[in-house]
């Protein structure tokens, strides 16, 4: 079977939306790690954070990543903080090509403030928090095999770039 395509990147960069479209185009199964955590716990991410905190969420996320990493030939969109745990990255990188989606902080702010359900953005000034978290995680996202800035591109342009990269790397698209 083929390698997984794993989308990593900060919240609001388009991982889920791009992942769903890419999966449909390449005829692959799609998984969103946050949705998988919600299925397993029976709670939204916000509810899980509010009731048990970030440590519990990261623990649930790690279990989900362990399960998803065993799959083959699928598209996996991860939560923005999945890279905070080195084991998550090792598990995902084992049979995957990792693609990081990025965007400028002001673009992320516009995208996430529309429906701000993101627990890590609930405290302090939204823009300042985004910039701070991005700075803290910037180096960790460098584990990606390829990076696409989604700031000024539509979904088709983003997907086209990813497809070209996959072809150049000889990664089976179907």
Q: Of 98, 96, 100, 101, give the one whose Cα is nearest residue 4.
A: 96
Adjacent-strand bridge partners of 5? 75, 97
What is the mean predicted confidence (pLDDT) over 84-93? Answer: 94
pLDDT category at 129 given cuts 50, 70, 90 is confident
What is the mean predicted confidence (pLDDT) over 18-40? Answer: 96
Whether pTM > 0.75 for this model: the answer is: yes
The domains found in the chain, sorted by start residue, are 4-167 (3.40.50.300)
State how far the Cα of 100 lies from the Cα of 142, in Å rounded to an integer: 8
Indicate the burial class of 101 (C-beta count within 10 angstroms; 0-12, 13-18, 19 or more): buried
């Amino acid at each position: 079977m083929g390698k997984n395509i794993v989308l990593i990147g900060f919240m609001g960069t388009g991982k889920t939306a791009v992942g769903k479209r890419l999966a449909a185009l390449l005829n692959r199964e799609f998984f969103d790690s946050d949705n998988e955590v919600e299925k397993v716990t029976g709670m939204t991410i916000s509810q899980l954070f509010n009731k048990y905190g970030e440590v519990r969420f990261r623990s649930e996320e790690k279990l989900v990543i362990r399960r998803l990493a065993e799959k083959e030939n699928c598209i996996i969109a991860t939560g923005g903080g999945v890279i905070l745990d080195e084991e998550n990255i090792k598990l995902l990188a084992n049979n995957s090509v990792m693609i990081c989606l990025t965007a400028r902080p002001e673009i992320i702010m516009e995208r996430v403030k529309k429906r701000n359900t993101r627990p890590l953005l609930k405290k302090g000034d939204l823009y300042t928090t985004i910039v701070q978290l991005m700075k803290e995680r910037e180096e960790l996202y460098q584990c990606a095999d390829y990076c696409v800035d989604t700031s000024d591109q539509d979904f088709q342009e983003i997907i086209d770039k990813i497809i070209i990269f996959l072809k150049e790397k000889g990664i089976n698209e179907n």
